[in-house]
Chains A and B, each alone.
Chain A
Amino acid sequence: MEKVGRDEIAARRSRAVRTAWVLGAVAALIFITFILSGVLKS
């Protein structure tokens, strides 16, 4: 059985937080570009 130590868990958690920020940024970007494209067109 492979062991997962505390460092490994901590590393995973920080990778997970990075994934979350990237995805959150993508969602925010979609929202903002979408609104902006509507505003600029009208």
Chain B
Amino acid sequence: MSIEHTHGHDHESHAAHDDHHDHKPTGFLNRWLFTTNHKDIGTLYLVFALLMFFTGGAMAMVIRAELFMPGLQLVEPDFFNQMTTMHALIMVFGAVMPAWVGFANWMIPMMIGAPDMALPRMNNWSFWILPFAFAMLLSTLLMDSGGPAAGWTLYPPLSLQGGQSFAFVVFAVHMMGISSIMGSINVIATILNMRAPGMSLLKMPLFVWTWLITAFLLIAVMPVLAGAVTMLLTDHFFGTSFFNAAGGGDPVMFQHIFWFFGHPEVYIMILPAFGVVSEIIPTFARKPLFGYTAMVYATASIAFLSFIVWAHHMFTVGMPLTGELYFMYATMLIAVPTGVKVFNWVSTMWQGSMTFETPMLFAIGFVVLFTIGGLSGLMLAITAADLQYHDTYFVVAHFHYVLVPGSVFALMAGAYYWLPKWTGHMYSEKWGKIHFWISAISVNILFFPQHYLGLAGMPRRIPDYSTQFADFNMISSIGGFIFGASQLIFVGVILHCVYKSREAASGRVWEGARGLEWILSSPPPYHSFNTPPVIDATTVAHAGEAH
């Protein structure tokens, strides 16, 4: 058999056994619809996430086009609200989260020396639920009552005032939740049971650690979201009054419940990003990660703290003063472990012999720009100040900094980092760098002015605005169009790498890369480690004196 076969002999662990022919299933349906292979499922997740990224991105373009000038130009206000709501739901649940699950599927078995995920058939289900969930969600746009328009937070009473299509939204959220929970169960079961002998927990790469912790967060909070939307469903269609004030329910209770889910959810989107960046920076600084153990503990404390800060999203609902103070200080505490992480990334680069290939550029872009988002988060955590900022574009600027040059840049960094490993070919470094620079510049043109808009009082989720906001909105929209268009370069680079690139990638790919995935050939054999690899300082990134 082809390339994989010959490369399979590269490493002694593969020479040891004889049945390592790659039995890829034949036929399109067998290969993709019925697949139980972690790499194929990883690919499905990543392709799906990319499709959703462009679907949600198209909606963002509608939003920025409408906001290009004051006045109502292009769309009806209700449709505008559907766009903001759908954009967020699709980006959060359709793009960022599935993309991270895709990385988990591809990388975790390879990184811990396992042949595959622990529960391959459930893995197939976790993925194939998603296209149906999103088809259902998107179909609401075509229904008489239109898509959901109350914001991704689905606050009642507004969310209860929509039409019949709301039922589809709720069921779609249920399916996404089931998919995430099954994915998380698989991740935890794999990491706890399938590690190669000698791969102790504190030798695991940070990407594996951050995903382990993320998976626990998901299992804890997705059922809460599922419960909350179920109650919205019965309030809407079956006359209950969980959140309906007219019937004795409590709409503020919904906010507490939503954010008990919602705040951990934002860390679900950022912890794997921390993991990827912690893999990439040591590779291109050619130094072991500074403070490996501290990174693990920082991740765990961020995860723990994420459960006890939720009401910083609700400073304006009228909590008792003690509550406001508690949530302010608890939120500020998160800055400590986050600061530890940023410090450790910078220290890893310190006096390293750095090179700036595309993954490293995106990783450094992440560290710098994510930190801007962290700092505006800290500003929002100041209760007295948040009374002013809340529900303005300042909040929009904050969370887009942590999510776009944060989570999304980390996804791009990871994609460029492992693309040669996945495909066996090098991508075009020139176009990767062009993609990075246009993205990094335009993302700031897009989101930085939104800080000023917010400070000046422009509310979020509106299709029209008063004329003093015109200039910054126009700048922001221009940045948005450039950013949106430049993501097509990413698709071009991927397609070129997969189908056209002639430059073969070595197993190690990057000179400074450490970790088990790099002792496999590029592309790796269909089943990663049928024989467990040797775990020692030469194969594992964190086996040395680093901790």
Contacts from A to B (Cβ < 8 Å): 1-4, 12-13, 15-17, 19-20, 23-24, 26-28, 30-31, 34-35, 38, 42
Contacts and interface: CB of A to CB of B under 8 A. Distances in A.
**Main SS of chain A's interface residues?**
helix
Interface stretch (B128-136, B218-226, B458-466, B477-485): B218-226
Nearest to B240: A42
Contacts of B186: 20
Interface stretch (B200-208, B241-249, B371-379): B241-249
Nearest to B529: A4
A4 B531 contact: yes
Interface stretch (B28-36, B190-198, B268-276, B422-430): B190-198
A31 B522 CA distance: 43
Nearest to A12: B193
Interface of B: 13, 16, 118-119, 122, 181, 184-186, 188-190, 192-194, 196-198, 219-220, 222-224, 226-227, 230-231, 240-242, 248-249, 531-532, 534
A31 B219 CA distance: 10
Contact of B122 (A12, A20, A42): A20
Contacts of B198: 2
B240 A23 contact: no
Given A4-B532, A16-B193, A38 B242 contact: yes
Sorted nearest first, the 4 A-B pairs with minimum C-beta distance are A16-B118, A31-B223, A30-B223, A34-B227
A20 B119 contact: yes
A8 B182 CA distance: 24
The listed residue with most B CB atoms (<10 A of its CB), out of A3, A23, A35, is A23
Given A34-B224, A42-B242, A23 B188 contact: yes
Nearest to A11: B193
Given A1-B13, A1-B534, A19 B188 contact: yes
Contacts of A13: 118, 193
B191 to A, nearest CB: 10
A27 B193 contact: no
Contact of B219 (A2, A23, A35, A42): A23
A27 B189 contact: no
A4 B223 CA distance: 37
A35 B198 CA distance: 43
Given A35-B230, A38-B242, A4 B222 contact: no
A13 B184 CA distance: 17
B193 A42 contact: no
Contacts of B531: 1, 3-4
